[in-house]
Amino acid sequence: MAVSPRLSPAMSVVVSAVQKAARRLLRDFGEVENLQVTSKGPGDFVSQADLRAEQTLREELSRARPGWAFLGEEGGQADGDWEWRWVVDPLDGTTNFLHGIPHWAISVGIEKRVGDTTELVGGCIYNPAGNELFWAEKGMGAYLNDKRLRVSARRDMVSAVFATGIPFAKVQRKAEFTATLARLMPQVAGVRRFGSAALDLAWVAAGRYEGFWELGLNKWDIAAGLVIVKEAGGFVTDPAGGDTHYETGDLVVGNQALHPKLREVVAEGIAAAQAARATVAER
């Protein structure tokens, strides 16, 4: 796999770490029936593969940058006094992985604290099964291996394909999703749900999707992907058009032409579901 020589020292560390973790994940993927699996909730699983991958990433990243904080899905570190932080999902798409579906990824974001605020300055999403490494650094553009990425240029909803994730646990989130989907489907060419938010974001950056929305994601699901989408020319907001998406996990992503239209549909779906809930509560 050819990777651009533009990599900064920090991103070189990330690429090396994800490739090392990927080698073990690929071995586990070939023997998935032997893995021990624990359920964390409806549709939410953790396996030995997740835990081993996070351990590998933590060791490799900490060895190269011992002063950096680490926030990971399978044993994340709480917020503290840090200047730089890795934000890591060692296996995004665990359900796919456990069913032998080759659509899963390792995601590592780089977050920097500036005063009282933080910003995402780098991200890497690696799909080992397809040997596709998506990466970006702030101000440097986004890449797939060594090829520059740009978001889709499509401008019409009728020709657009959007990606999403289906909420599992919270009833209200399911209602908001259902209301949004009912409004969106008649307007577009298709909606896809492939089970990895990290890859959904990477695929928006690569122009494979025109946009993506999901509600209630975690920081490790989206940290790397947000940088990659933005560096590929995409737009990211919360459903109201604000910038709370990284904290709330409610996000709408798209190209310049279609992001506003997708955001409007998602906002309408959320409002409709909330209104229906309020009506029921009043009865």
Return the structure tokens found at 111. 């977050």
Residue 125 β-bridge partners: 107, 134
Residue with tokens 């030995």, as numbered in its chain: 48
Residue 89 annotated as lining a ligand binding site: yes
Q: Which of 190, 124, 193 is nearest to 154 (CA)?
A: 190
Residue with tokens 């579906």, as numbered in its chain: 101
How far is the C-alpha of 150 from the C-alpha of 155, rounded, in Å?
Answer: 14
Q: Which of 259, 263, 267, 258 is nearest to 157 (CA)?
A: 258
Residue 92 annotated as lining a ligand binding site: yes
How far is the C-alpha of 224 from the C-alpha of 138, rounded, in Å?
Answer: 11
User: DSSP states of 61-109 as a string?
Assistant: HHHH-TTSEEEETTTPPPP-S-SEEEEEEEEETHHHHHTT-S--EEEEE
How far is the C-alpha of 198 from the C-alpha of 84, rounded, in Å?
Answer: 21
**Using alpha carbons only, what angle is made at residue 125 by residues 143 and 71, rounded to the nearest 5 degrees?**
130
Question: Which amino acid, 128?
Answer: P
What is the enclosing helix (H) or strand (E) of 37?
A: strand 37-41
**Using alpha carbons only, what angle is made at residue 14 by residues 69 and 45, rounded to the nearest 5 degrees?**
75
How far is the C-alpha of 200 from the C-alpha of 209, rounded, in Å?
Answer: 8
Residue 91 annotated as lining a ligand binding site: yes
Binding residues: 73, 89, 91-92, 221
Binding residues for Mg(2+): 73, 89, 91-92, 221
